[in-house]
Chain A
Amino acid sequence: MFTRGGGGETAVRRRLLLARVGKREGRGEAARVVLNGGPEEATGKQQPAGGCSSRGWGTGEVEAESRRQQLLPAARANAFVRVDSTACESSGRVTNLKSQLSSLERENVELRRQINELSMKLQIAGQGKDETLYKPGPFGTVKALRTNPTVTPDESVNPRLAKVLEEVAVKKELIVALANNNVREMLEVWFTNIKRVGIPNYLVVALDDNIESLCKSKGVPVYRRDPDEGIDNIAKTGGNHAVSGLKFRVLREFLQLGYSILLSDIDIIFLRNPFEHLYRDSDVESMSDGHNNMTAYGFNDVFDEPSMGWARYAHTMRIWVYNSGFFYIRPTIPSIELLDRVAGRLSHEPKSWDQAVFNEELFFPSHPGYEGLHASRRTMDIYLFMNSKVLFKTVRKDAQLKKLKPAIVHLNYHPDKLKRMKAVIEFYVNGKQDALRHFPDGSE
């Protein structure tokens, strides 16, 4: 099962990003801390039930003492160590030493954390210069900046939108969806569930009058852009791919105003508040189209070419694409550049699919004739942010996985979305255990 993230961003962030040392709170349980430095990683509890082994580095475990510590200050411990030991020691001494050791180890971890924090800040302060402002520390203490700084908000970009966002957003973040009349029914299911979960910060960008009135009549926060021929033509009449491409042009303003956006498709059911499960440590945090740990989080897909003989096996890095229908994007420079790049390519390559372009810009390194984007990315947990292939091929058939309650379910892999959405609600909300039974794995 998953740990429910604590209340706000801070609590979640602390628990997931920083190795929590138990001693200061006086709790005696063994804490899973990062001993050898390097990036603090989420604790083992965050692993999906599929049992993917953590490939993070620098894990270690420190057994926290359960009794109240009478901690020796470091100076005294020094004096102690220099005392010549007599040939035989009592076991009481051993216990003493062990407790000193564990308190030193805790101090060690805390110091590493401080070093990381300070070096992050220095990296931010030194951005734009050719040289960093400091020397890197010893092995295992170096940590690069991953969480890029946010842009300075620029309200002049769209004062009307700025006002709307100020009222709707919570902690400068919100869910955003684009909708035209083609998806009216699904939109109703979409916002009904959001309301049921109790999520207040969401917004529908209405692409036509119909949707705008629907939202207003149902008390759904809605925003209508100023008329813009290019966008409006596609918006009113476009099929789902065309409208999907629009989002990259529409979202830019949101980011420029300094808001983080959780972009959501309409064929998504919300079962928990997704904001309690975000790490917020990358430019883009997105759900995957993958169906297991390997495909979702990346793996070494070995390519076999027998005719090469000795070197028949070529190693390749492979990962299933991010779903451009559900991602969390922070208002940073790389994020805005990403949106610009995708929007630019979509308008110049008429047969392109926005999801493919979105991923290519995120994944390909620079090569001759192309400059890579270099934005930081995080893949969302596939059992929390569940795509419908994972649900129908795996989860609904597994006794343990069935008990998980995901944060969202995205019906991306199936054409009969509305039907399946309703069945998903029956299953997860109303507890009807056989609600998902009569659907095939795929579409036939």
Chain B
Amino acid sequence: MSGRRESPLMRGGGAGPPLSRGSRIAAAVVVGVALGCLCAFLYPDGLFARAPDSAIHWPRRAECDTSREVAKLKSRLVLLERKNAEFKKQINELSMKLQLAGQGKNEALYKAGPFGTVKALRTNPTVTPDLSINPRLANILEQVAVKKELIVALANSNVKEMLEMWFTNIKRAGISNYLVVALDDNIENFCKSNDVPVYRRDPDDGIDNIGKTGGNHAVSGLKFRILREFLQLGYSVLLSDIDIIFFQNPFDHLYRDSDVESMSDGHDNMTAYGFNDVFDEPSMGWARYAHTMRIWVYNSGFFFIRPTIPSIELLDRVAYRLSHEPKSWDQAVFNEELYFPSYPGYEGLHASKRTMDIYLFMNSKVLFKTVRKDAHLRKLKPVIVHLNYHPDKYDRMKAVIEFYVNGKQNALERFTDGSE
């Protein structure tokens, strides 16, 4: 690197014997080459950051295969750019708030009290409402909701008959805060003509395709994407399936102390509320009994969800998994995200949960296998009955109304426990 070291050649004249012109030229060339090598070594990609626009100026042959790829890449770039800009805005907002709040500490602000006096936070704080995400929906909810909570159902034309029964009973029970999210025009008009609060989303290809033509499982998965906005607007949602009869106002029976409060698919106290299902492996001898925690799943067709951060994360997680695991069932995914603790490769959700009373929020297995045969339990009036365990829903729904509303004591007799 002769260029770096100071040599007599670099300094102007005077220091040594005068050189001939030839050697001066040679020296200059050597210096120039050396400098060039130095630059090439230090800046292999060019001294100046090359604007890619410069590529346009290069002489070119027609290589049209790549233009489509370029177009695709460009659109992805634009999308990412937009996302990043959004994120940066969000970060700014959050950091400002954090400064106002005085920097989140890793330590709680107090000491733990004596035995029996310590109680952890279960009822997570609700999010700050953000009306800007959907002003039209915000308007509707403001009119329909009572104390910032309401019943929400999704419906397309496939369930028109049951939908009628659904809202007829809601009206009869005197519940005013309910809303149908119509997935097609038919249902929208039907609701309007029957004076039922209805909401139609802005067109969205992904959702609308499933909404119009999907079977019940596909539509069921939609709710996790749709509900997010409701929560972001600060509303608690009591999500309801269409095959549910309302007898009392459910809002009079909610605890509202957890992120998710849901009805169970269990058929007795053990299965519904959780039990220790002892696993027996005789070959292990002394340690043949292994204890396991087991609980029947929550029914993703009827749950009360509060607008908290864990709840929104739950919806996001479920929606994401449903879209990436084509064979998954929304009820299974919903429950897995709620139940499984963290393990290697997976970070658990950690939302608080409450199981609804199985005799107040009754599934049809409890009704047909147990309640209708028991003299005492028959006298209970449930808050809702969900015909989830049976395929002939409409028939059974009518019978249930005859039994509980019109008092016909033998209305449920002709039905089998199961479906045969």
Assess whether A97 is in contact with B320, with CB atoms less than 8 Å apart: no
Does A279 interact with chain B (Cβ within 8 Å)?
Answer: yes
The interface size bin for chain B is 35 or more
Binds A, one of B20-28, B30-38, B332-340, B398-406: B332-340
10 shortest interchain CB distances as A-B pairs = A121-B104, A309-B419, A443-B285, A308-B418, A442-B284, A365-B353, A377-B341, A310-B419, A443-B286, A334-B120
Knowing A77-B81, A311-B419, A378-B343, the reply to whether A88 touches B313 (Cβ < 8 A) is no
Nearest to B416 among chain A residues (CB) is A309
Assess whether B257 is in contact with A337, with CB atoms less than 8 Å apart: no
Assess whether B339 is in contact with A298, with CB atoms less than 8 Å apart: yes
Knowing A96-B55, A97-B73, A256-B111, the reply to whether A145 touches B309 (Cβ < 8 A) is yes
A-B contact pairs, 5 of them (CB 8 A): A57-B324, A100-B77, A104-B84, A131-B126, A255-B112
Binds A, one of B11-19, B86-94, B207-215: B86-94
Does B102 interact with chain A (Cβ within 8 Å)?
Answer: yes
Knowing A300-B336, A366-B257, A377-B341, the reply to whether A355 touches B94 (Cβ < 8 A) is no
Chain B at the A interface: SS class:
mixed
Assess whether A154 is in contact with B112, with CB atoms less than 8 Å apart: yes
Residues of A within 8 A of B139 (CB): none
The interface size bin for chain A is 35 or more
Knowing A89-B66, A135-B129, A308-B419, the reply to whether A415 touches B110 (Cβ < 8 A) is no
Assess whether B97 is in contact with A134, with CB atoms less than 8 Å apart: yes
Assess whether B84 is in contact with A111, with CB atoms less than 8 Å apart: yes
Assess whether B87 is in contact with A111, with CB atoms less than 8 Å apart: yes
Assess whether A87 is in contact with B67, with CB atoms less than 8 Å apart: yes
B248-266 interface (Cβ within 8 A of A): 255, 257-258, 265
Does B41 interact with chain A (Cβ within 8 Å)?
Answer: no
Does B71 interact with chain A (Cβ within 8 Å)?
Answer: yes
B273's contact among A104, A370, A413, by CB below 8 Å, is which?
Answer: A370
Does A58 interact with chain B (Cβ within 8 Å)?
Answer: yes
Assess whether B118 is in contact with A336, with CB atoms less than 8 Å apart: yes
Q: How far is the CB of A58 from chain B (nearest CB, A)?
A: 7
Q: How far is the CB of A30 from chain B (nearest CB, A)?
A: 18
Assess whether A107 is in contact with B84, with CB atoms less than 8 Å apart: yes
Assess whether B348 is in contact with A377, with CB atoms less than 8 Å apart: yes
Nearest to B116 among chain A residues (CB) is A340
Assess whether A381 is in contact with B344, with CB atoms less than 8 Å apart: yes
Assess whether B112 is in contact with A256, with CB atoms less than 8 Å apart: yes
Q: How far is the CB of B93 from chain A (nearest CB, A)?
A: 7
Assess whether B94 is in contact with A118, with CB atoms less than 8 Å apart: yes
Residues of B within 8 A of A70 (CB): 45, 49-50
B209-256 interface (Cβ within 8 A of A): 228, 231-232, 255
Assess whether B365 is in contact with A308, with CB atoms less than 8 Å apart: yes
Measured in the bound complex, the distance between the Cα atoms of B388 and A355 in whole Å is 36
Residues of B within 8 A of A233 (CB): none
Assess whether A297 is in contact with B340, with CB atoms less than 8 Å apart: yes
Q: How far is the CB of A379 from chain B (nearest CB, A)?
A: 4
Does A219 interact with chain B (Cβ within 8 Å)?
Answer: no
Assess whether B121 is in contact with A311, with CB atoms less than 8 Å apart: no
Residues of B within 8 A of A101 (CB): 73, 76-77, 80
